[in-house]
């Protein structure tokens, strides 16, 4: 098992991490529409942790955007690269996620993160962070609204309402299934919000969460189980994994 190391110069303190966020946030591109939904490739990324073993597993799963069939997939296992601090979770995940993306045999196209982009207290969640570092178009599709507020969307699939920080719209609460709790969509990098919503709907023909997220979640959990078993011995085969909060 090859373990992804923590990059040289990676932030080690909250102060250093916030300084990096401040520097990189200004590089987010908000004036590009992004690739058209249903065309090319779209890639889901997700992570799973074993804090006892200090391991994080990342998965990248590439789908054909038109058929949602799997085109390629890759995983990476690394050391947890930053302590748990709300609002700074990208610093725990980015090195291993980038390693998984780098192992793909084809360009990823649009990247969909299980987390946040602009819908983040510092307006720089995982989707934005990853987008700036890779210059790939990225969006965040989260399971909960973090610290932001929203009115309940109308119950029909496709209805959405602003996700608000005070009066500022930082994303949208989007209903992907009739009468089912919405997901929370925000721009990461090089994609418009309208396009991010359209991509999310294209990726949710049957379930609440995008197919990209569902596939990546299953793959990273499997990769973590295998890595934990190799690191800890046969007894780890029966251990359970814990999923981190989204960032």
Q: What is the pLDDT of residues 51-110, one digit of tens each?
A: 889 999 999 999 999 999 999 999 999 999 999 999 999 999 999 999 999 999 999 999
Mean confidence (pLDDT) of the chain: 93
What is the DSSP annotation of 134-203? HT--EEEEESS-TT-B-PPPPSSTT-EEEEEETTEEEEEEE--STTSPPEEEEEEES--HHHHHHHHHHT
Work out the percent of the chain whose per-residue pLDDT is above 90: 89
pTM for the model: 0.92
What is the distance between the alpha carbons of residues 225 and 243, in angstroms, rounded to a whole number?
12
The residues spanned by each domain of the chain are 38-229
Annotated binding residue 46 = yes
Residues forming beta bridges with residue 192, ordered by sequence position: none
| Exposure letters 45-58 (e unless 16+ CB within 10 A, then b) | bbbbbbeebebbbb
pLDDT in tens, 188-246: 999 999 999 999 999 999 999 999 999 999 999 999 999 999 987 654 444 444 455 55
CATH number for 38-229 (one of 3.30.2170.10, 3.10.129.10, 2.130.10.10, 3.40.50.300): it is: 3.30.2170.10
Reduced to 3 states (helix: H, G, I; strand: E, B; else coil), residue 76 is strand
Residue 22 has which token pair? 């401040």
Which of these, 158, 164, 168, lies nearest to 194 by C-alpha position? 158
Could you tell me the maximum CA-CA distance found in the chain, to the nearest angstrom? 53
- Between 52 and 126, the more confident residue is 126
3-state helix, strand, coil in the chain (%, to 5): 30, 25, 45
Residues forming beta bridges with residue 173, ordered by sequence position: 161, 184
Annotated binding residue 114 = yes
State yes or no: pLDDT of 149 exceeds 80. Answer: yes
């Amino acid at each position: 098992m090859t373990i992804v190391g923590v990059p040289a110069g990676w932030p080690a303190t909250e102060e250093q991490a916030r300084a990096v966020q401040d520097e990189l946030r200004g590089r987010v591109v908000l004036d590009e529409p992004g690739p058209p939904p249903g065309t090319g490739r779209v890639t889901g990324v997700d992570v799973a942790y074993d804090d006892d073993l200090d391991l994080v597993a990342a998965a990248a799963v590439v789908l054909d955007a038109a058929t949602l069939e799997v085109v390629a997939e890759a995983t990476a296992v690394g050391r947890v690269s930053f302590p748990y601090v709300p609002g700074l979770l990208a610093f725990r995940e980015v090195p291993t996620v980038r390693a998984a993306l780098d192992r793909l045999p084809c360009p990823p196209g649009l990247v969909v993160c299980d987390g946040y982009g602009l819908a983040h207290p510092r307006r720089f969640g995982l989707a934005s962070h990853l987008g700036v570092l890779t210059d790939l178009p990225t969006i965040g599709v989260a399971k909960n609204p973090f610290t932001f507020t929203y009115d309940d969307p109308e119950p029909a699939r496709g209805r959405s309402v602003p996700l608000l920080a005070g009066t500022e719209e930082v994303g949208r609460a989007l209903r992907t299934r009739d009468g089912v709790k919405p997901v929370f969509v925000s721009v990461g990098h090089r994609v418009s919000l309208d396009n991010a919503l359209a991509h999310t709907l294209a990726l949710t023909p049957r379930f609440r969460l995008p197919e990209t997220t569902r596939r990546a979640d299953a793959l990273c959990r499997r990769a973590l189980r295998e890595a934990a078993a190799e690191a800890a011995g046969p007894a780890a085969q029966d251990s359970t994994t814990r999923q981190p909060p989204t960032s």
